[in-house]
Structure 1
Amino acid sequence: MSNLKVAFAPWYTKENPYQIQLYENLTSLGVKIEPTNCSTLYLLSTIKQSKVHILHLHWLDHFFLTRTNKLKSFLKLILFISQLFILRLMNIKIIWTVHNVKNHQNKHLGLDRLGSILVSRLAHGLIVHSKSAKNEILKVFNIRQDKKIFIVPHGNYIDVYKNKISQIEARKCLNIPDSSLVLLFFGLIHPYKGVLDLTKALKQLNYEDVCLVIAGKPCNEVMAKHLAQEAEDNKKIKFISGLVPDEQVQVYMNACDVVVLPYKEFLTSGAVILAMSFGKACVAPRKGCINEVLDDTGSFLYNPDIEDGLLQALNSVLQKRDYLSNMGIHNYKLANQWNWNYVAQKTLNVYQNYLSF
C-alpha cells in the first residue's frame, strides 16, 4: 500500500494525541497521510490538489457549525455536502470515524444531526470504536447498510505520555497528603460528563480523608465559576482549571487511586482508555462502550438509572481500597491489547475494502 494517500480532515492534535498516533502507525504501514485543517470553502480544491485516494473525516462540526449564526451554519453545510458529493464523483473514497453522535457544545443540534445523517449516506464507510457505538449510530442516523460500518477499537495511550513519576512525588506536586484516597476527574469538562453529579455524591460520602481532583478545561465560564465555588465550599475538592499540558498528565494520573468517569452521554471515551493505560481502577456507568472495555474486575460499574448509583460506587471504592492497585493492573493489561499498530492495521483494512489496488 505504498501508493495509498489519505487526507485526514480536520487535523486536531492540541487536546488529544489520537490522530498523531493513528498518523504515525498508518505511515509505518506505508500509507501517506495528508493532514488538513482547511476551511469548508477550500475543502474540494485542497483534496484535489493533494491527489489523495481517500478522505478520512473525523469531527464534522469543524466544517459547518458556527457558534451563533444558524443561517451561516446551514449554508456551510450545503457547501460541505456539495463538495463531498463532487469528491465521490471523482472516485475519491470517503471514510468517516464517528467520534460522537452530536457535538460537545450542543451547537445547532438539528443541523448537526442533519449533517451527520447526510455524511453517513455519502461516506463509503464509517468507523466506530465499539459494538454499542455501531448500534447507536445505526439507530440515530437511520442507517440501513450496517455492512458499511466497521468496528476499530480506540487505541491505548501506553507510552504516549510520560509515566515515570511516583505517586508520592505526584501528590507532592499537587499538595495532597499521602494518606488520602484520591479520586480524579480528568479532561475537558462538559455538563454531559457528570462532574456536578460527582461533586454532589462526594458531599454525601461519609469519609473525611478523601480528595477529589478535577483537572481540565471547563466548557464555559459558567462551569468554571461553578466548579471554583464547589472547591471553595468543599475542602475535599481540588479544582485545577485549564488544558492539562502533556507532561503534566502523568502527575494527575499517578497521584490518584481511582479515575471517576460519571458520564451521562458518550459514544466513545478516550478518557477511559487513558485511565486504563496508566493502570488505574475506574468508576463509570454500566452502559454503552464502557461495558466493552471495562469489567467488574478492574472497575466499579454502576447503574446510571439509580439515583444514588454513583454514590454506591464510591462507597464500594472505600470498601475495596486495598485492592485498587491490582484492579489498575488488570485494566492496564486490558488496554495493552489495543496498541496503535493493531488499530492502524484495522483502519488500513477498512481503506482496502474500497480500493482496487
Structure 2
Amino acid sequence: MGNPTVYMWPKHSPDNKYSELLTRSIERNGLTVEHYDQKAAFKPRRGDIVHMHWPSNSYTASAFPLTMVKSVFFALLLLFYRARGIRLFWTVHNVWPHSGKTRWDRVMRKFILSVCQKGFVLSEAVKTEVAETFGVSPSKLVVTPHGHYVDAYASKGTDIRKRFGIAPDTYLYLFIGRINPYKGVDKLVDAFAALGEANSELLIAGKVDKGYSLDFIDRVNDGRIHVYPQFVDDHELADYLAAANVIVLPYKQISTSGSAILALSYKKPVIAPRLGALGEYVSDGCGILYDPDDPDGLRQALRASMAMDAKETELHIAAKLRELDWGRIAGKMIQVYTGTKRYEVNA
C-alpha cells in the first residue's frame, strides 16, 4: 500500500498563508497534498487523510435553521469518511470562531474532535483549554507549533515611514492586522496617548470590520497616530514590518496569534498580553508580555520596549524561529497522520 494522500481543507487561502506553508513542507517530506473543497468531497479513499483548519465555515450559516441543516450535512459527511476508513484531523487554530462562541459551536466542535483521530493544537496553553472546554482527553491533542513566516512575504521596497511622514529616528509602534473589537486597538490608542513620549509615534494599519468605528482615535490624536484603515497588501506587508521598531498586539482575547509569529519572522519584538499561546511564542527576550488585567500594563510595556537592546533581541528571536521551522512541524504531523516513527523530529 502506497503513501496516503492528504486532502488539506484548505490547501491555500487568500487570508492566511498557514495551510500553504504547511502544505509545502508536508510535500517536501514525501506526501502528496491535494486541495479540499466541495468538488473534492468524494475523492478521498480508504487510508487517505482529510485535514481541516477552519470548520466553522462548514457548519454555520446566516440563520440558525440553515445552520442546523448545514451542520447535519457536515456531520454526516464526517461520519461517512470515518466509515470509509478515511482519517480525520483538525488543527484547532482558535478555541472559538472569531465571530464569537455559541452553544451550537460547543456542540459542533466537540463532535468534530470526537470523530477526528487527533486534533492538532498550536501550544500547550491551547491544548489545556481545548481539553477542558470540550471534555476531550489531552492524549487526543498533539502540540504542533505555528511555523514561521520567514521569506513568506517579499519586500516591495516601499518607504512606509516616508508615506506617513514619520521621521527615520522616531520610535514607531505598529499595529497591523484586521481591526475589530477583540483586537484591543482602543486600549492601544489610550495607552499610547498616556505614554507622553514626544519622539514616538503609532501606526495602525488593517481592514476595519464593518460597523466598527475608529472615532476613539480622533479624540486623542495629536498628530502622532497614523491610521491606514485598509487591507495591507501582501506585497507591502514586509515593508510595514520593516518600518516599525516594535509590533503591538493588544488583544482582548486570543488563542494563537499568527501576527505575533509574523512579527518575529521579520525580527521585530512583540508587545502583547499574557494570553493563550502568546507566552509560548513571545518568550523571554522576544518582546514584552503584560498582565491584561493591569489597567496600566500596556502603557508600561510600551515604555519598557524602548529600552530593549536590539541586537540581543534579534538573537532571542532567531533562536525562537529555529523552534518554528516548518520542516520539523510537518515531520511531526506526518508521524501522527501515519502512526509511524519514520520521521524523527523535535517540533
How high is the TM-score relative to the length of structure 2? Answer: 0.91
Corresponding residue number in structure 2 for 1:90:
84
Distance 1:279 1:267 in 2: 22
Please identify runs of 4+ aligned residues in structure 1 that moved more than 4 A. Answer: 163-166
Among 110, 117, 124, which residue is 1:131 paired with?
Answer: 124
Distance 2:156 2:312 in 1: 19
Structure 1 unaligned spans of 5+: none
Distance 1:309 1:26 in 2: 40
Among 296, 299, 302, which residue is 2:287 paired with?
Answer: 299
Q: Secondary structure at the match of 2:267?
A: coil
Corresponding residue number in structure 1 for 2:69:
75
* Counterpart residue identity of residue 85, structure 1: L
| Residue 204 of structure 2 is aligned to residue 214 of structure 1 | yes
Corresponding residue number in structure 1 for 2:135:
142
Q: Which moved more, 1:326-335 or 1:83-92?
A: 326-335
Q: Which moved more, 1:4-13 or 1:97-106?
A: 4-13
Corresponding residue number in structure 1 for 2:345:
none
Deviation at 1:345, TM superposition (A): 0.8
Q: Secondary structure at the match of 1:49?
A: coil
Q: CA-to-partner distance for each residue in 1:186-236, whole Å, 9 max, x for gaps?
A: 11223212111111111211112222111111222x22xx22661585122
Distance 2:182 2:104 in 1: 20
Equivalent residues of 1:186, 1:214 under 8 A apart: yes
| Residue 57 of structure 2 is aligned to residue 27 of structure 1 | no
Identity in percent: 30
Deviation at 1:283, TM superposition (A): 0.6
Structure 1 residues 12, 164: CA separation in 2 closer, same or farther (over 3 Å shift)? closer
Corresponding residue number in structure 2 for 1:248:
236
| Residue 258 of structure 2 is aligned to residue 270 of structure 1 | yes
Q: Secondary structure at the match of 1:198?
A: helix
Corresponding residue number in structure 1 for 2:152:
160
Equivalent residues of 1:2, 1:32 under 8 A apart: no
Q: Secondary structure at the match of 1:242?
A: coil
Distance 1:73 1:354 in 2: 38
Distance 1:137 1:102 in 2: 10
Q: Which moved more, 1:289-298 or 1:25-34?
A: 289-298
* Counterpart residue identity of residue 63, structure 1: S
Corresponding residue number in structure 1 for 2:48:
53
Structure 2 unaligned spans of 5+: 342-347
* Counterpart residue identity of residue 176, structure 1: I
Distance 1:325 1:190 in 2: 33
* Counterpart residue identity of residue 148, structure 1: K
Distance 2:340 2:117 in 1: 8
Corresponding residue number in structure 2 for 1:194:
184
In angstroms, what is the RMSD of aligned CA positions?
A: 2.3
Equivalent residues of 1:15, 1:243 under 8 A apart: no
Equivalent residues of 1:259, 1:283 under 8 A apart: yes
Equivalent residues of 2:285, 2:312 under 8 A apart: no
Corresponding residue number in structure 2 for 1:117:
110
Among 35, 45, 64, which residue is 2:59 paired with?
Answer: 64
Distance 1:91 1:123 in 2: 12
Structure 1 residues 329, 171: CA separation in 2 closer, same or farther (over 3 Å shift)? farther
Q: CA-to-partner distance for each residue in 1:281-319, whole Å, 9 max, x for gaps?
A: 11111233111122232211111111111111112123x
User: What is the 5 A alignment of 1:11-26?
Assistant: 11-26=11-26
Q: Secondary structure at the match of 2:30?
A: coil
Distance 2:232 2:124 in 1: 31
* Counterpart residue identity of residue 325, structure 2: N
Corresponding residue number in structure 1 for 2:193:
203
Equivalent residues of 2:144, 2:333 under 8 A apart: yes
Distance 2:57 2:10 in 1: 7
Q: Secondary structure at the match of 1:297?
A: coil
User: What is the 5 A alignment of 1:225-236?
Assistant: 226-227=213-214, 230=217, 234=221, 235-236=223-224
Distance 2:214 2:325 in 1: 35
How high is the TM-score relative to the length of structure 1? Answer: 0.89
Among 83, 95, 100, which residue is 2:94 paired with?
Answer: 100
Q: Which moved more, 1:280-289 or 1:72-81?
A: 280-289
Deviation at 1:65, TM superposition (A): 1.2
Distance 1:336 1:317 in 2: 23
Equivalent residues of 2:156, 2:235 under 8 A apart: no
Paired residues in the alignment total 340
Q: CA-to-partner distance for each residue in 1:132-163, whole Å, 9 max, x for gaps?
A: 010000011111x2212111011001111125
* Counterpart residue identity of residue 115, structure 2: L
* Counterpart residue identity of residue 195, structure 1: V
